[in-house]
Every structure is written in C-alpha cells, then in structure tokens.
C-alpha cells in the first residue's frame, strides 16, 4: 500500500465511480475503493466517515453533472422563452443520455440517489430555483405572465417529469419522443406568454 499518496475527496470519488462500474452497487465496498487507490480503507474513511457518506457524495457528484450546465443556461442572458426551452431540452437530454448510453451505471446511480434522499431533494430544489430564475427574467422582459415564479417553476418541473424523471426511462426509447417533447414545450411556452400590448 502506498500511504504516501495524497488523497483528495475528488480522487476518491473518481475511483469510487470506477469501482461501482466494475462491481455494481451491491458488491462494491470501501475496501475495494481503497484497494483501487492503493491505500488503506482508513485513509478513505478520513475523507468520508462512513460508506453511506461516500455513496451520498457520489450521488451528489452525479447530480451536479446535470445541474451545473443547466445553471449556466438559467443564469445566461437573452430572451427568457428561448432560455426556458433550451434549459428544459438540456435537462431531458442529460437524463436520457445517462439512461440510454450506460443503462447499468444509470441503474447504479438511481439506487444511490434513492439512498441519498436529502441530496436528491436538494438537487430538485436547485433545479426549480434555476427554472424560477428564468421565469422571473421572462416576467421582467414582459415575455411571461406569471404570478409566482417559484410556484410556476415547480409546476413546469412536475408537468415535464415524463421526460426527466428516471421512473419513466422505459418511455425514452419511444421513436415519437422528440415529437412529444416538442408538443409539450409548445404548449408550455404558449401558456406562459404575456398578452401582447395593443
């Protein structure tokens, strides 16, 4: 064992993902992670005090891969309707890509996310905050007619769950999926439109 290795939480999480990919969630252990890092399991525990905290950190890291690019769209500039559509399409594409390109790893992450309920709730609230930001901008621009940006954001998040909630992943192979997404987004954007001033 190489105890002179400088361990960082990020390095441990990278290796943990590799271990999960290799062994699966049910069989992967902290000892497997330590072995892959060529350190003792105590070295891993210095950064993550329990197996549960390590798994929660992996789930958080995975969810941030989705939320970080979306945050850039939400905080961007330009017409809010275009940003809203871009944000929603990016959310759908990110979730669908994870499922369709690596279904085994997605199943592992889904199980991790179910264990890390607090982390998942925070992720959802973060996404709703991002949506609310775009909606608020749209109201300021005169593009959207809304009363409560946060409430509307939650409603949009819920209304589009078929396209981003992992429980609907089996539907994402539907050849008509793109057309269904287009129809829902058209309906949403029209429903948010502020009336034109005469």
| 98: CATH | 1.10.357.10
| Same domain assignment for residues 57 and 124 | yes
Return the closest-CA partner of residue 194 out of 121, 140, 131, 117. Answer: 140
Q: Which residues pair with 144 in a beta bridge?
A: 193
114 CB-near residues (< 8 Å, 6+ apart): 120
User: CA of 53: how far to CAs of 12, 45, 178, in Å?
Assistant: 12, 9, 38
| Same domain assignment for residues 56 and 45 | no
99 neighbors 43 (Cβ within 8 angstroms): no
| Same domain assignment for residues 171 and 187 | yes
| Same domain assignment for residues 35 and 56 | no
| Same domain assignment for residues 88 and 177 | yes
Q: Is 96 within a domain?
A: yes
Helix (H) or strand (E) holding 52: helix 51-74
| Predicted pLDDT of residue 5 | 59
| Same domain assignment for residues 109 and 161 | yes
Residue 162 has what DSSP assignment? G
Q: How many domains does the chain have?
A: 2
Q: Is 198 within a domain?
A: no
| Predicted pLDDT of residue 188 | 96
Q: How far is the C-alpha of 139 from the C-alpha of 147, rounded, in Å? A: 9
| Predicted pLDDT of residue 52 | 85
| Same domain assignment for residues 132 and 158 | yes
Higher pLDDT, 20 or 112: 20
Measured from the Cβ of residue 146, the count of other Cβ atoms closer than 10 Å reads 18
Q: Which residues pair with 45 in a beta bridge?
A: none
81 neighbors 189 (Cβ within 8 angstroms): yes
pLDDT at 185 over 60: yes
Q: Is 197 within a domain?
A: no
| Same domain assignment for residues 73 and 151 | yes
| Same domain assignment for residues 179 and 82 | yes
For residue 11, give the 3-state DSSP assignment. Answer: helix
Q: Is 32 within a domain?
A: yes
| Same domain assignment for residues 114 and 141 | yes
Ranking 72-86, 104-118, 136-150, 152-166 by mean pLDDT, the lowest is 104-118
| Same domain assignment for residues 162 and 188 | yes
Q: Is 71 within a domain?
A: yes
Give the predicted TM-score (pTM) of the model. Answer: 0.85
Q: Is 15 within a domain?
A: yes
Q: How far is the C-alpha of 59 from the C-alpha of 196, rounded, in Å? A: 44
| Same domain assignment for residues 57 and 45 | no
Helices (H) and strands (E) in the chain, counts: 9, 0
> Domain span at residue 184?
52-192
| 35: CATH | 1.10.10.60
pLDDT tens-digit series, residues 3-21:
555 789 999 999 988 898 8
Average the pLDDT over 53-67 and give the result. Answer: 87
């Amino acid at each position: 064992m190489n105890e002179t290795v400088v361990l960082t939480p990020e390095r441990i999480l990278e290796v943990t993902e590799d271990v999960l990919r290799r062994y699966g969630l049910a069989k992967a252990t902290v000892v497997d992670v330590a072995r892959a890092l060529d350190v003792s399991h105590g070295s891993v525990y210095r950064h993550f005090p329990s197996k549960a905290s390590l798994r929660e950190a992996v789930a958080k890291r995975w969810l941030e891969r989705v939320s970080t690019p979306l945050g850039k769209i939400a905080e961007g500039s330009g017409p809010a309707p275009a940003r809203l559509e871009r944000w929603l399409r990016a959310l759908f594409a990110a979730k669908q890509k994870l499922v369709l390109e690596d279904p085994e790893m997605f199943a592992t992450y889904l199980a991790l996310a179910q264990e890390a309920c607090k982390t998942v709730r925070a992720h959802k609230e973060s996404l709703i905050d991002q949506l609310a930001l775009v909606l608020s901008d749209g109201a300021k621009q005169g593009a959207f007619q809304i009363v409560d940006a946060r409430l509307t954001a939650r409603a949009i998040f819920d209304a589009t769950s078929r396209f981003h909630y992992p429980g609907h992943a089996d539907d994402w192979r539907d050849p008509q999926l793109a057309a269904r997404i287009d129809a829902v987004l058209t309906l949403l954007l029209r429903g948010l439109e502020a009336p034109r001033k005469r």
